[in-house]
């Protein structure tokens, strides 16, 4: 039994100021104090840290806390020190690569003197020979393995060094272990217990249900604007926005800043000092929003995060659950919004290439679960909890996910589920969902041919007109969540029929199944255009206004004796009919307009839109107030400066290590955004004067600025694509901008 200095409740009040324990905390702490190995599965916000902090403060010796993140260590050590008096500054320390030799000596001195009750170490620090030798000489109360899911390759944050912990702990001395995690599927739980040799441990598993969190998945369209609108609507509230890449983190943080949001980026490419400062500013509420890669947030003790947004779909449901779990830890409001496009999944799969085959298989399976969660039309909470081995009655969701708030169409699924179970049995429960679906649809894949699935009586029985792969994927998901099928994760996700499934097959009963969401057509990087300068989709325009704008464009074009596209292209007019710009600043934000073009042609359009908005009492979209970030690309600036200096395009291309056609494309982009350039000096050198006149005259009379149409009309044998493109740049610069 570990020595206890006073009663549990007295210490809880003394150190943490709480009058009572939360959930299973008291039983967990008693287990540790009794010297038993203890395994804790508790959702974020459930109070895991207290489960090892309190017994460490009450026990004789030093507790070693293995933790993967330096930021987390600092955060928790600072919090623990705040409970003590000045002479208790050494009550908690951390030992990691951020310390210098003098600081390490001070840490070890405090431990040797018995001042330190908790020592946070990175797994890499624990494995160093000099540290192992030191730990053998001191009194250790117990080991706590935080973020224990890092042990399992099936966990969302697998770290190989975590798998070496058990031998090192044994080398130091036999002491109790407490392992803790917020996210662990049954498979990961099994891995943790086995790897840490804790099969006889007391296991404490809390419900994974966070009833105060609202889950929503949105299609990835205009995501930069959508995020900005959401954050502005929740002005003053604390939030975290996760992006997969550092570049996107910087872009979204900048977009929010120019729209008046107190936001900062956080990723591994920033200096450690800057990251720590950003984290402190977030905790102290000097900023409202952190835009981060997944490096941010593990163990951050901020109870009032009101929203967590995923710009990109996470790599696994464990990662999603842990990151969304940082919202509403105080039990208050917590909105979890994820933007989803299947293109993101394709990208994530590409990132896996080059990794060992087994690792790729694991990664793909985890991704498939995420896709299933994103595309499901049934209760998201039920789906999520089922993934973690917990059953949930969706009637209790009380509109706390988008699918329950706005229910999708339900259809009778009895026959389809029965047919699916028959197909799983027909392939002897030895194949994955996609192979079973191919059998139902009658697809003669290489797997189907090799294993003679094409000879099965059931082959093609599910291939009705309205039943495609998407339909059968939905049926599989709901059969799994309903417990009629199981997935053998040990064998790469092979489908098996459960006892309930066999009962159902012998006596099918009515089952209503929900249609999945259809996210086809969404664009993983749609917001790149927004950040570069506007970029709205053509869909959703006010048709009446669009027609009026087209007529005005033709009228002004006629006055100037120019084709209408020279005034404004149709994409620009369509965007005006979505955004309703009513002043010059708003007009310059429309794609393909720019300051020069707005000044030259914008006023009559602004006047028309203003009158239309007033006459029809139109409530303009909120995203009109969203400012965009100018794309100050180094290439653009360099090209404009080089043209001003009258350098040849070949020299400009050479300086930037680009091909000539790429430089011409860059100049076309510059001109289409409304900037005027003068490349006459270059054109005069490379395009015959007669040809110039012919091409110029063509564009004056043409209905579109299509290069393809121009070459057909002018004759591809007489004019090169390069000549036509150069002349179009000259024409648009002189008349359009």
In our burial notation (b when 16+ CB lie closer than 10 A, e otherwise), range 491-502 reads eebbbebbeebe
What pLDDT band is residue 558 in, cutting at 50, 70 and 90? confident
**In a domain? residue 3:** no
- Among candidate residues 205, 238, 261, the one where a domain is terminated: 205
Burial class (CB in 10 A: 0-12, 13-18, 19+), 506: exposed
- Among candidate residues 625, 654, 685, the one where a domain is terminated: 625
**In a domain? residue 523:** no
Q: Are residues 484 and 581 in the same domain?
A: no
Q: Which residues contact 228 (CB under 8 A, 6 or more apart)?
A: 255, 256, 259, 261, 623, 626
Q: Are residues 600 and 616 in the same domain?
A: yes
Percent of the chain surpassing pLDDT 70: 88
Residue 120 has pLDDT above 60, yes or no: yes
How far apart, in Å, are the Cα atoms of 399 and each of 189, 446, 531? 30, 44, 34
Each residue of 417-475: pLDDT tens digit? 999 999 999 999 999 888 999 999 999 999 899 999 999 999 989 888 678 888 898 88
Q: Are residues 421 and 472 in the same domain?
A: yes
Q: Are residues 239 and 337 in the same domain?
A: yes
Question: Checking DSSP bridges between strand 512-514 and strand 410-412, what pairing results, if any?
Answer: antiparallel
Any idea how long the chain is? 737
Do 728 and 672 contact (CB within 8 A), yes or no? Answer: no
Query: Which of these, 17, 15, 18, 41, lies nearest to 28 by C-alpha position?
Result: 41
Q: Are residues 165 and 270 in the same domain?
A: no
Q: Are residues 295 and 237 in the same domain?
A: yes
In the sheet where 140-145 sits, what is the strand order? 92-95, 118-121, 62-66, 140-145, 177-181, 38-41, 202-205
**In a domain? residue 731:** yes
* Alpha carbon 44 to its chain's center: 18
Q: What does the pLDDT read at residue 213?
A: 94
Each residue of 300-348: pLDDT tens digit? 668 889 999 999 988 888 889 888 988 988 888 899 999 988 778 777 8
* Alpha carbon 630 to its chain's center: 24
**In a domain? residue 442:** yes
Do 202 and 505 contact (CB within 8 A), yes or no? Answer: no
In the chain, the number of structural domains is 5
Do 118 and 61 contact (CB within 8 A), yes or no? Answer: no
Q: What does the pLDDT read at residue 669?
A: 79
pTM of this prediction exceeds 0.85: no
What pLDDT band is residue 214 in, cutting at 50, 70 and 90? very high
| Angle, vertex CA 82, rays to CA 293 and CA 105, nearest 5 | 80
Question: What CATH number does residue 572 fall under?
Answer: 1.10.150.80
Q: Are residues 382 and 279 in the same domain?
A: yes
Lowest mean pLDDT among 43-47, 298-302, 438-442, 661-665: 298-302
Residue 553 has pLDDT above 50, yes or no: yes
Report how far residue 221's alpha carbon sits from residue 529's, in angstroms, rounded to the nearest whole number: 11
Do 516 and 475 contact (CB within 8 A), yes or no? Answer: no
**In a domain? residue 250:** yes
Question: For residue 702, how many C-alpha atoms fall within 13 Å in the half-sphere facing its CB?
Answer: 22
Percent of the chain surpassing pLDDT 90: 21
Q: Are residues 26 and 147 in the same domain?
A: yes
Q: Are residues 109 and 254 in the same domain?
A: no
Q: Are residues 466 and 613 in the same domain?
A: no
Residue 141, SS3 per DSSP: strand
Q: Are residues 471 and 601 in the same domain?
A: no
Question: What CATH number does residue 181 fall under?
Answer: 3.40.50.300
Do 150 and 159 contact (CB within 8 A), yes or no? Answer: yes
Residue 72, SS3 per DSSP: helix
End-to-end CA distance of the chain: 83
Residue 245, SS3 per DSSP: coil
Mean pLDDT of 119-129: 84
Residue 527: φ, ψ to 5°: -80, -5
Beta bridge partners of 95: 121
**In a domain? residue 524:** no
Tokens 């930069």 belong to which residue?
Answer: 224
Question: What CATH number does residue 652 fall under?
Answer: 1.10.10.1390
- Among candidate residues 484, 514, 544, the one where a domain is terminated: 514
Residue 706 has pLDDT above 90, yes or no: no
Residue 379, SS3 per DSSP: coil
Each residue of 65-84: pLDDT tens digit? 988 765 566 666 666 666 55
Q: Are residues 377 and 464 in the same domain?
A: no
**In a domain? residue 263:** yes
The token pair at 708 is: 């393809």
What pLDDT band is residue 63 in, cutting at 50, 70 and 90? very high
Mean pLDDT of the chain: 82
63 sits in which H/E element? strand 62-66
Q: What does the pLDDT read at residue 141?
A: 92
Q: What does the pLDDT read at residue 45?
A: 67
Question: What CATH number does residue 431 fall under?
Answer: 1.10.10.10
**In a domain? residue 522:** no
Q: What domain range is 607 assigned to? A: 534-625
């Amino acid at each position: 039994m570990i020595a206890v200095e006073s009663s549990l409740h007295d210490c809880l009040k003394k150190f943490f100021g709480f009058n009572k324990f939360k959930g299973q905390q008291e039983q967990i702490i008693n287990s540790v104090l009794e010297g038993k190995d203890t395994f804790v599965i508790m959702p974020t916000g459930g109070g895991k840290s207290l489960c090892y902090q309190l017994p460490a403060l009450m026990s004789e010796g030093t507790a070693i806390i293995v933790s993967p993140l330096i930021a987390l260590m600092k955060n928790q050590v600072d919090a623990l020190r705040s409970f003590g008096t000045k002479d208790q500054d050494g009550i908690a320390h951390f030992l990691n690569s951020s310390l210098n030799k003098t600081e390490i000596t001070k840490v070890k001195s405090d431990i040797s003197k018995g001042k330190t009750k908790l020592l946070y170490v990175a797994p890499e620090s624990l494995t160093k020979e000099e540290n192992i030798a030191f730990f053998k000489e001191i009194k250790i109360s117990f080991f706590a393995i935080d973020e224990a899911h890092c042990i399992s390759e099936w966990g969302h944050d697998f770290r190989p060094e975590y798998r070496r912990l058990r031998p090192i702990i044994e080398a130091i001395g036999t002491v109790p272990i407490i392992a803790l995690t917020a996210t662990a599927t049954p498979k990961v739980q099994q891995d943790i217990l086995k790897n840490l040799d804790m099969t006889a441990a007391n296991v404490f598993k809390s419900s994974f249900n966070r009833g105060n969190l609202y889950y929503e998945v949105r299609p990835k369209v205009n995501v930069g604007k959508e995020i900005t609108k959401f954050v502005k609507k929740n002005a003053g509230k604390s939030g975290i926005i996760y992006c997969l890449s550092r570049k996107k983190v910087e872009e979204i943080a900048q977009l929010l800043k120019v729209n008046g949001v107190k936001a900062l980026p956080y990723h591994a490419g920033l200096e450690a000092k800057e990251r720590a400062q950003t984290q402190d500013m977030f905790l102290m509420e000097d900023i409202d929003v952190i835009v981060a890669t997944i490096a941010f947030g593990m163990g951050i003790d901020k109870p009032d995060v009101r929203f967590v947004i995923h710009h990109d779909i996470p790599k696994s449901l464990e990662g999603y659950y842990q990151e969304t779990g940082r919202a509403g830890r105080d039990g208050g409001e917590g909105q979890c919004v994820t933007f989803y496009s299947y293109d993101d999944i394709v990208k994530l799969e590409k990132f896996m290439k080059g990794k060992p085959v087994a690792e790729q298989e694991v990664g793909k399976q985890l991704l498939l679960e995420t896709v299933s969660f994103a595309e499901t039309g049934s209760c998201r909470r039920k789906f999520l909890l089922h993934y973690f081995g917990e059953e949930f009655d969706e009637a209790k969701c009380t509109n706390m996910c988008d699918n329950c708030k706005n229910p999708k169409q339900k259809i009778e699924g009895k026959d389809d589920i029965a047919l699916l179970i028959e197909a799983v049995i027909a392939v002897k429960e030895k194949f994955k969902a996609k192979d079973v679906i191919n059998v139902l649809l009658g697809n003669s894949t290489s797997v189907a041919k090799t294993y003679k699935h094409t000879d099965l009586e059931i082959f093609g029985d599910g291939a009705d007109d309205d039943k495609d792969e998407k339909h059968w994927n939905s049926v599989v998901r709901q059969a799994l969540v309903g417990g009629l099928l199981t997935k053998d994760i040990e064998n790469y996700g092979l489908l098996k029929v459960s006892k309930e499934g066999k009962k159902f097959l012998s006596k099918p009963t009515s089952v209503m199944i929900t249609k999945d969401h259809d996210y086809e057509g969404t664009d993983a990087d749609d917001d790149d255009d927004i950040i570069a300068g506007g970029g709205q989709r053509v869909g959703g325009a006010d048709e009446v206004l669009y027609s009026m704008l087209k007529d005005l464009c033709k009228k002004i074009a006629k006055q100037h004796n120019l084709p209408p596209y020279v005034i404004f292209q149709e994409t620009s007019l369509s965007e005006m009919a979505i955004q309703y710009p009513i002043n010059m600043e708003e007009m310059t934000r429309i794609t393909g307009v720019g300051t020069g073009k707005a000044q030259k042609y914008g006023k009559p359009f602004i006047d028309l839109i203003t009158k239309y908005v007033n006459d029809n009492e139109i409530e303009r979209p909120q995203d009109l107030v969203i400012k965009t970030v100018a794309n100050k690309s180094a290439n653009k600036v360099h090209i404009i400066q080089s043209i001003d200096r009258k350098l040849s395009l070949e020299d400009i291309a050479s300086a930037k290590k680009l091909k000539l056609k790429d430089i011409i494309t860059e100049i076309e982009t510059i001109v289409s955004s409304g900037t005027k350039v003068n490349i006459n000096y270059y054109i005069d050198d490379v395009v015959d004067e007669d040809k110039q006149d012919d091409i110029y005259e063509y564009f004056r009379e043409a209905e579109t600025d299509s290069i393809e149409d121009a070459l057909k009309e002018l004759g591809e044998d007489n004019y090169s694509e390069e000549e036509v493109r150069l002349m179009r740049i000259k024409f648009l610069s002189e008349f359009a901008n």
